[in-house]
A = this chain, B = another copy of it.
């Protein structure tokens, strides 16, 4: 992706996708998806839709009745609220408690899904870090962390160790996950790092240069890969120091790139 907006054709036959946010100026879905439409020869377009929280229902209800609108991407702060505006929710939504995409089904109903987690896993697999059968440690039980936790379990991690400073949030997530994948989720007073194959930061720590590290690197086994979901800066302090210690690192951008494949599959774009 470059800093220049992608250039796309628009005509009366063009199908639409909305990306809903408040604000919306920062959204990457047009830059991510519109070149895919051009590349695939699909006459479709992602447009930004700025919806205030108190108007979200009115806007979504309207968009759902636009005959040539096939889907919506959903970003901050609408990911939780938009669940209630879908007719059905996919499994990742129930576990993560939030959705980041809606699709018009063949019968005209709307299905919500969440690809934050599967996008992360797709990115891992694409980088040769298939988590199947491995032991993972995840720090951060918020929206993204929850989705990633579920996706890692769905992808077959053997044991997922969870940590968050918000104990109530941590316990609630662990309970939801344990209902689906019993016995594979562990919560501790700190992340269990010593025997992890993969350590993931799903907290905002690292967005700012003076943030503390989300977890201590000296506890990691030498073979442990370290992943961050922060995209800006591309190289967080966590990743920089992990690389210096000889760990394999995995950048935040891969989660977004991994979602591209999920979106293509979800919307049947080919």
Interface residue ranges, A against B (CB under 8 Å): 4-14, 16, 19, 21-22, 24-28, 30-31, 34, 45-52, 55, 58-63, 65-69
Contacts and interface: CB of A to CB of B under 8 A. Distances in A.
A7 B5 contact: no
B51 A65 contact: yes
A19 B68 CA distance: 12
Given A13-B25, A30-B11, A67 B50 contact: yes
A3 to B, nearest CB: 10
B12 A10 contact: no
Complex copy number for this chain: 2
Given A5-B11, A10-B48, A50-B67, 20 more contacts: A5-B9, A6-B9, A7-B7, A8-B8, A10-B46, A11-B31, A12-B24, A12-B30, A13-B25, A13-B48, A14-B47, A16-B47, A24-B67, A47-B47, A49-B68, A50-B68, A59-B65, A61-B62, A62-B63, A62-B65
A59 B52 contact: no
Contacts of A10: 5-6, 8, 30, 34, 45-48
Most buried by B among A10, A13, A51, A59: A10
Contacts of A34: 10
A14 B14 CA distance: 17
Nearest to A4: B9
B52 A26 contact: no
A48 B12 contact: yes
Contact of A24 (B9, B28, B51, B68): B68
Contacts of A9: 4-8
Given A12-B24, A13-B25, A48 B68 contact: yes
Nearest to A21: B12
3 shortest A-B CB distances, which residue pairs? A62-B62, A5-B9, A5-B11
Contacts of A4: 9
Most buried by B among A27, A47, A68: A47
Most buried by B among A4, A31, A51, A66: A66
A43 to B, nearest CB: 8
Contacts of A14: 5, 30, 47-48
A48 B5 contact: no
Nearest to A75: B12
Contacts of A30: 10-12, 14
